[in-house]
Amino acid sequence: GHILAGAIKDVVTRYAHQSGFHVERRFGWDCHGLPVEFEIDKTLGIKGPADVAKMGIAAYNNECRKIVSRYSTEWEAIVTRIGRWIDFENDYKTMYPWFMESVWWVFSELWKKGLVYRGVKVMPYSTACNTPLSNFESGQNYKEVVDPAVVVSFPLEDDPQVALIAWTTTPWTLPSNLALCVNPDLQYVKVRDLSTNNVYIMMEARLPTLFKKEDEYTVLDKFLGSSLAGKKYKPIFPYYAHLSQAFRVLTDSYVTEESGTGIVHQAPYFGEDDYRVCLHSGIITRDQEIICPVDESGCFTLPVTDFNGLYVKDADKEIVKQLKANGRLVNAGTTKHSYPFCWRSETPLIYKAVPSWFIRVEQMSQHLVKANSDTYWVPDFVKEKRFGNWLRDARDWAVSRNRYWGTPIPLWVSEDWQEVVCISSIAELQRLSGQNITDLHRDSIDHLTIPSVRAGHAPLRRVSEVFDCWFESGSMPYAQLHYPFQNQKDFDDKFPADFIAEGIDQTRGWFYTLLVISTALFKKAPFKNLIANGLVLASDGQKMSKRKKNYPDPMEIVNKYGADALRLYLVNSPVVRAENLRFKEEGVRDILKDVFLPWYNAYRFLIQNIQRINQEESMSFTFNEETATSSNVMDQWILSFTQSLLAFVRREMGAYRLYTVVPRLVQFIDNLTNWYVRMNRRRLKGETGSADCQQALATLSTVLFTMVRVMAPYTPFLTELMYQNLKQLTTRPERSVHFVMLPQTRTALIDENIERSVSLMQNVIELGRKIRDRNTLPIKYPLPEVVVIVNSPQQVAEVTSLQRYVTEELNVRRVTVTADKQAYGVSLRAEPDHKTLGARLKQAFKPVMAAIKELSNEQLQEFQRTGHLEVLGHKVEPSELRLFFSFTGPGADQLALKYEAHSDNDVLLLLDVTPDKELQEEGLARELVNRVQKLRKKAHLVPTDQVTVYYATQGELADIVVKYRQMIETSTRTPFLPLDQLSGRVLAEEVQSVKGSQLTLKLTDHVEGQPQQQALTPACRYVRVQLHGLNPSNGVRGSTGYVLLENPAGENLLTLEKLEQEVRVLFGLQCRSRLYLCSDKGLQLTPAQWPTLHQATVYVSATPHLTSAPVPVKSQSAGLDCRFVNVQWKNKQGMLFLENPMGDNLPADLQPLVRRMFCLESASVTVSSPDNGVITVN
């Protein structure tokens, strides 16, 4: 939940910065309250106030302060790793004295306005935390529990043979019973229980509660509840029998027919309605001593002698036993119901009367509703319904807590409560107490007194309570600036805040307290815009629980998939619409697999081809995004689509609708990678000429450069990586993507006609792919024809203008586009789903089925378009009907054999699936092209790497290779020769089966037509490193690599300690984890072994010795199994690895690495292309 809200805040504030706003990034820490104290109580075994008194408040608070410091350090690391752009150096903590002073000022202002009062109120009470909770805190954590349910008899004083009976799920409150309550307007009965001969009075409507059958009782009398008013009864327990005004029947309409016996037992100091009714009826008075025989920890006290010292919930069984022994138990059972639990300690709450300090919120209700109406919420329904309803029913807020670690309530009172002084500042307290003050916690000020203004009276002392930590949170807009003591202009300029965000549960928490305090102080809301997110649940739909361990560690998810993947998964989920999310790790994995990897591969493909064209044409490619245009229709489409996306993002982010933005961003990446790059690979690889290639590269560079800025708020790490390379192709001076403003929309590039045409073309291609999949026809195998039937001449023109792309993507010889459906005699027919529709319609199914088969083509087309169909008065759902295409008219049988059909609302596609020998041969040739490309990938080659592939096969496949060899070599840009001509070092090889024929492929570093080169000798000493029992992280893939022991040769010699640092960087390993460097003997390396490490293998382990035998490596005498180049500058020689770890490529631009190697940062240098494995620096 914290990570989700943090991600939303970070996305919005990063976007605001990109849009030209100044964004403060101060981090705030909630330091006080139950969460901290509960942890300390658990750690130190503190059970109640007596233990704190024994320890001393100063020592107790010091422990709280220490744990806050520890947790804040841990959270800072987590927040940073998640990618939030935060200012921790200028943070604020609610425990800072200057923050607490502003909280005092807020309270003093409410005091001056008459909004504060002290009262006794029955409140939710946490016995584990020894403190009352506010009504909104108690509503945060309801659970289904099973409690005892007992029916108890209360014999009448004037007729002991007749007993009133009451039902309760809290037997522990019975020792405090002072009255019974009935509904005056409902019918009650006197009945005889025929099994016991006992006579009871209860509500008529509730008779089934006690009696299962009517013959189990006899009704002796009927009367309204009002006739019971004032009747006296015998107490159950003797503890308060001396109270003459008690133990009588009261009346109130809150008693209902829905539960119990219709008679409710009244324990006025343990129930809100009980207190109200008993106070109104004179059972208790406001100024009397509270009748509450339960202490702070929820244990019985005197005068309840029978259960003294027992925890109230534990006493339930003993009380029931005693009721039974005394003949007062009528019935005992259990009931399952929803019950509030303490949100911190996870223990059941009780309701208990506690003297507290309250803010008069009820009288502010209309002002709160008005202030809320002036704010903007996303989603809007949370503002109007959930939060609006809460405000309309607002109740006075208990802001005091009987605790220790918090901001003390600044009230000093006389012993007789005739004098009350509310302190508003440190200076005021210093003046009145005559003492210097450095801290405001209880241990620093509780001893301070203020002289009475009345002669001869004792000095005033501070009340013992501290503030509810929610009061501090609600005061945050003022306290973070130490307002009004400092920064008054700063506050005036920034209040109300532009934006806040938290979980939907904060409608009864932070959002509420912010609004209450701000409305009380300034008659307006403290924020303008708000995003309320839903809750992140465990995968089983339950609340995430550390105790249950029902969710993965978020940091493990981050280390495994990256922070960007987690961020995008969360903000692309229902939680940003205030719905709940069942967190699933595979969802994060899918973001990485389906979004990031294709996006990164498109970026990598661009960089590789820029490197290629720079090398082939001795140029330095650059682009200018502000002037990017093209005559190529696909370039125009992706540029238009990018600008349309940019306009959409600006509009929706301006309205804080993240839930509409992120799906469009994900869709854009799909369009870019699976459509634009895929359909323009030949252009980008230079196969259509240099000018066209440069135009395509400029377009893709422009689009990616725009995308890294649009996506930067969401995926700050990946976009920064891409930006650092892309900016080298421009003149941009900004050193980070996060310092670059979001580009303005270039409306001149937006062409809705092209976007519509390409969208239609995409539909055509998707339909064709589905037909191929349905018929198991791989795209490599050409087909004779596709017929595209559209709805209008305009669509005919649109598809025709792009038909060359349809030809390539569907691999067909001919494309026919028409709007004439009749020419092909294609019509729809329908078959009902017998299982689903038959089960629903039963006897009506047969006539409906017959009618469905008679539906016209036009009716079925309308059903296909709208999803609505009614047959013989029965609505038919899309899932209950299967649609098929059939051919009618002359030649229908031949057409059905030739074509497979598929359609959507705009397009009907007919794909000729007739087998053809020549097309099948071409398909096999394309299969060979695919195998060669996979082999190049297996060898970790880049497009500029020149190699030769040798093959061996026989039979028909050998004839196909000879026939299509030129096509294979052109497509792969790789010589393709018979295996008997093998020459050079084999880099990769495979033996495969292709259509029943064995195929052997070997890829070598020998380039056909060039003489063999001697093996290159590494210029520097090196050591091979291999992970053992560890996995690389932070995007690194390989687990084997190399570290240079010197670079250049003879300089920058590595030590054993520096080797460990290099290993961490190489494999992306965390600094917190301990690493051990071990030899092939399995033991940790020692300094004595350091001189002998050249060409050796070092194993990196999490333990001081290897837990299993290391995997043998090939002899180093054969040379490095990692591609490298030597680098020559004057008389110095250095060395660079071209893949390190194995399988991970270095950046395309080697110049920065060469500069660092020879300390040439400030010099003007040129780096040559590799010549026989050597780079020369001038």
Contact 1019, 1176 (CB under 8 A): no
Exposure on the CB side of residue 552, measured as CA atoms within 13 A: 17
3-state DSSP percent of the chain in helix, strand and coil, to 5: 40, 20, 35
Instruction: Assess if residue 735 is contained within a domain.
Output: yes
Instruction: Assess if residue 194 is contained within a domain.
Output: yes
Cα distances from 851 to residues 836, 856, 858, in angstroms, run 17, 10, 15
CB crowding 887-907: b at 16 or more within 10 Å, else e: beeeeeeebbebbbbbbeebb
Instruction: Assess if residue 1083 is contained within a domain.
Output: yes
Contact 152, 323 (CB under 8 A): yes
Residue 514 has pLDDT above 80, yes or no: yes
Which range among 284-293, 649-658, 822-831, 960-969 shows the weakest confidence by mean pLDDT?
A: 822-831
What 8-state DSSP symbol labels residue 398?
E
Average pLDDT of the residues in 68-73: 87
Contact 1025, 1043 (CB under 8 A): yes
Please report the sign of the dihedral spanned by the C-alpha atoms of residue 236, residue 242, residue 247, residue 248: positive
Residue 654 has pLDDT above 70, yes or no: yes
| Count, residues in the chain | 1178
Instruction: Assess if residue 935 is contained within a domain.
Output: yes
pLDDT at 1011: 47
Q: Which residue has the higher pLDDT, 971 or 207?
A: 207
Please report the sign of the dihedral spanned by the C-alpha atoms of residue 1023, residue 1027, residue 1031, residue 1037: positive
Cα distances from 791 to residues 756, 788, 799, 907, 909, in angstroms, run 14, 10, 11, 7, 12
Contact 948, 1006 (CB under 8 A): yes
Average pLDDT of the residues in 654-669: 91
Identify the helix (H) or strand (E) that includes residue 940. none
Residue 187 shares a structural domain with residue 327: yes
Please give the sequence-ordered ranges of beta strands (E in DSSP) within 983-1030, or none if there are none.
Answer: 986-994, 997-1004, 1022-1027
Residue 278 shares a structural domain with residue 234: yes
Q: In degrees rounded to 5, what are phi and psi of residue 105? A: -60, -45
Q: How many domains does the chain have?
A: 4
Taking alpha carbons only, the member of 106, 104, 98 closest to residue 482 is 98
Residue 1079 shares a structural domain with residue 1113: yes
pLDDT at 160: 94
Dist CA 925 CA 852 (whole Å): 47
Q: How many CB atoms lie within 10 A of CB 584?
A: 15
Taking alpha carbons only, the member of 228, 224, 231 closest to residue 186 is 224
Q: What residue has token string 């964004």?
A: 23
Instruction: Assess if residue 590 is contained within a domain.
Output: yes
Report pLDDT digits (tens) over 248-295. 999 999 999 988 999 999 999 999 999 999 999 999 987 788 899 999
Cα distances from 1170 to residues 381, 709, 1148, in angstroms, run 63, 34, 13
To the nearest 10°, the Cα dihedral for 329, 332, 336, 340?
30
Average pLDDT, the chain: 88
Which range among 759-763, 838-842, 1000-1004, 1017-1021 shows the weakest confidence by mean pLDDT?
A: 838-842
Instruction: Assess if residue 100 is contained within a domain.
Output: no
pLDDT at 136: 64
Residue 554 has pLDDT above 60, yes or no: yes
Which range among 498-512, 695-709, 871-885 shows the weakest confidence by mean pLDDT?
A: 871-885
Residue 322 shares a structural domain with residue 220: yes
Dist CA 384 CA 378 (whole Å): 11
Residue 240 shares a structural domain with residue 277: yes
Dist CA 588 CA 596 (whole Å): 11
Residue 993 shares a structural domain with residue 1070: no
Pairing of strands 1132-1137, 1124-1129: antiparallel
Taking alpha carbons only, the member of 599, 606, 609 closest to residue 719 is 599
Residue 191 has pLDDT above 80, yes or no: yes
What is the band of 1161 on the pLDDT scale with cuts at 50, 70, 90? low
What 8-state DSSP symbol labels residue 1170?
P
Which range among 728-742, 956-970, 996-1010 shows the weakest confidence by mean pLDDT?
A: 996-1010
**What residues pair up with 497 in beta bridges, in sequence order?**
527
Cα distances from 564 to residues 334, 572, 619, 721, in angstroms, run 50, 12, 35, 12
Question: Tokens representing 531?
Answer: 């995003």
Query: In sequence order, which residues have a C-beta less than 8 Å from that of residue 1117 and are 6 or more positions away?
Result: none
pLDDT at 1117: 40
Taking alpha carbons only, the member of 330, 158, 170 closest to residue 228 is 158
What is the band of 155 on the pLDDT scale with cuts at 50, 70, 90? very high
State in Å, rounded, how far the first CA of the chain is from the last one.
55
* 695, 719, 750 - which closes a domain: 750
pLDDT at 1116: 41
pLDDT at 1164: 59
Instruction: Assess if residue 682 is contained within a domain.
Output: yes
Query: In sequence order, which residues have a C-beta less than 8 Å from that of residue 327 and are 6 or more positions away?
Result: 153
Which range among 546-560, 719-733, 736-750 shows the weakest confidence by mean pLDDT?
A: 546-560
Query: Percent of the chain scored above 70 by pLDDT?
Result: 95
Cα distances from 1018 to residues 131, 789, 1094, in angstroms, run 72, 63, 12
pLDDT at 195: 93
Contact 31, 70 (CB under 8 A): no
Dist CA 333 CA 434 (whole Å): 63
* 943, 969, 1004 - which closes a domain: 1004
Taking alpha carbons only, the member of 1137, 918, 927 closest to residue 1041 is 1137
The most confident of the ranges 123-137, 227-241, 1099-1113 is 227-241
Which range among 228-232, 398-402, 919-923, 1160-1164 shows the weakest confidence by mean pLDDT?
A: 1160-1164
pLDDT at 1115: 43
Instruction: Assess if residue 8 is contained within a domain.
Output: no
Question: Tokens representing 1174?
Answer: 């050597």
Average pLDDT of the residues in 814-836: 81
Residue 213 has pLDDT above 90, yes or no: yes
Residue 184 has pLDDT above 90, yes or no: yes
pLDDT at 206: 95
CB crowding 109-137: b at 16 or more within 10 Å, else e: bbbeeebbeeebbbbbbbbbbbbbbbbbb
Average pLDDT of the residues in 763-789: 89
Tell me which residue range forms the domain holding 1038.
1022-1176
Contact 260, 207 (CB under 8 A): no
Dist CA 909 CA 901 (whole Å): 6
Residue 128 has pLDDT above 60, yes or no: yes
Average pLDDT of the residues in 785-795: 88
Average pLDDT of the residues in 736-759: 93
Contact 593, 563 (CB under 8 A): no
Specify the CATH number for the domain of residue 698. 1.10.730.10
Contact 279, 268 (CB under 8 A): yes
Specify the CATH number for the domain of residue 303. 3.90.740.10
Dist CA 24 CA 22 (whole Å): 7
What 8-state DSSP symbol labels residue 329?
E
Q: How many CB atoms lie within 10 A of CB 775?
A: 11
Contact 937, 601 (CB under 8 A): no
Residue 1103 shares a structural domain with residue 1159: yes
Residue 1031 shares a structural domain with residue 1133: yes
To the nearest 10°, the Cα dihedral for 918, 923, 928, 934?
170
Dist CA 167 CA 332 (whole Å): 10
Residue 927 shares a structural domain with residue 1042: no
pLDDT at 626: 83
Average pLDDT of the residues in 451-471: 94
pLDDT at 474: 95
pLDDT at 823: 78
Residue 1172 has pLDDT above 60, yes or no: no
* 293, 323, 340 - which closes a domain: 340
Q: How many CB atoms lie within 10 A of CB 917?
A: 7
Report pLDDT digits (tens) over 1070-1099. 666 778 888 888 888 887 777 778 888 899
Question: Tokens representing 457?
Answer: 């009276």
With both helix axes pointing from N to C terminus, report the angle between 834-841 and 845-853 in degrees, rounded to the nearest 10: 130
Residue 179 shares a structural domain with residue 293: yes
pLDDT at 755: 94
pLDDT at 72: 86
Residue 642 has pLDDT above 90, yes or no: yes
Query: In sequence order, which residues have a C-beta less than 8 Å from that of residue 1067 and are 6 or more positions away?
Result: 1027, 1030, 1032, 1033, 1036, 1039, 1041, 1100, 1141
With both helix axes pointing from N to C terminus, report the angle between 803-810 and 752-774 in degrees, rounded to the nearest 10: 30
Average pLDDT of the residues in 660-674: 92
Residue 963 shares a structural domain with residue 1082: no
Residue 942 has pLDDT above 60, yes or no: yes
Cα 1053–chain centre separation: 46
Cα 99–chain centre separation: 31
Question: Tokens representing 1053?
Answer: 């010699």
Residue 989 shares a structural domain with residue 1061: no
pLDDT at 1012: 46
Question: Tokens representing 3?
Answer: 């990570």
Report pLDDT digits (tens) over 318-335. 999 999 999 999 999 999
Q: Which residue has the higher pLDDT, 1087 or 214?
A: 214
pLDDT at 821: 76
What is the band of 535 on the pLDDT scale with cuts at 50, 70, 90? confident
